[in-house]
A and B are shown apart, each in its own frame.
Chain A
Amino acid sequence: LAKTTQPISMDSYEGQEVNITCSHNNIATNDYITWYQQFPSQGPRFIIQGYKTKVTNEVASLFIPADRKSSTLSLPRVSLSDTAVYYCLVGGTGTASKLTFGTGTRLQVTL
């Protein structure tokens, strides 16, 4: 199971772009990279998933370099409501792998 490393915390001002990087040096060939968001006392919420290059949805973008040993979640123009913990997960789809969450990155957005 690929181990992930993320910054423990980040601070940002409202309206800025936030980039959270996750390292996963021993990612396997069939592993996907998935990001979740969690607000206090709520269950995590799926944000985005990718395998390589770039994925974009209405909420975020995910950048994955060619070697796939890291990935960057990009949140455009954050607001106060984006204050949450963000988790990077690495695992294979279609297999009996488990959703293993690391410590996550605590993002604090202020005015």
Chain B
Amino acid sequence: DSGVTQTPKHLITATGQRVTLRCSPRSGDLSVYWYQQSLDQGLQFLIQYYNGEERAKGNILERFSAQQFPDLHSELNLSSLELGDSALYFCASSIGQGASEAFFGQGTRLTVV
């Protein structure tokens, strides 16, 4: 158990819909990272937050947005969903801002039908 909690574990929704994925970081961790992993693909970095503020942005679509709340949990919002958005979405957390040891959650498997 990494200490990072992601909910829900599975999500099935229709094209055009909007969903919210939730991540609770490890206790004490200030950084949260979001990744997308499509079937048999690598991990695509989406966005990073540190202590409530956006710190780095990767290949995140404009239809996607994220935020980190004062209690440090984070949410990833995906809207106008397309079939190609079906993937595993991982959240990770770390103490600092940099590329140090990070702990990953078990992921949310999103299926768009």
Contacts and interface: CB of A to CB of B under 8 A. Distances in A.
A42 B55 contact: no
Interface in A89-107: 89-104
Interface stretch (B65-73, B76-84, B89-97): B89-97
A98 B48 contact: yes
| Range, interface on chain A | 20 to 34
A102 B33 CA distance: 16
Chain A contact residues: helix, strand, loop or mixed: loop
A43 B55 contact: no
Contacts of B102: 46, 99
Contacts of B45: 98-101
Given A42-B106, A43-B2, A99-B45, A34 B101 contact: yes
Contacts of B97: 94-97
Interface residues of B, number: 28
Interface string A59-97: 000000000000000000000000000010111111111
B56 A97 contact: yes
B99 A46 contact: no
Contact of B96 (A45, A89, A94): A94
Nearest to A85: B42
B92 A93 contact: no
**Residue from the set A32, A96, A97, A101 with the largest chain B CB neighbour count within 10 Å:** A96
- 9 interchain residue pairs of minimum CB distance: A91-B99, A43-B104, A93-B98, A101-B43, A98-B56, A96-B55, A93-B100, A46-B101, A95-B98
Interface of B: 2, 4, 33, 35, 42-43, 45, 48, 50, 55-56, 58, 88, 90, 92, 96-107, 109
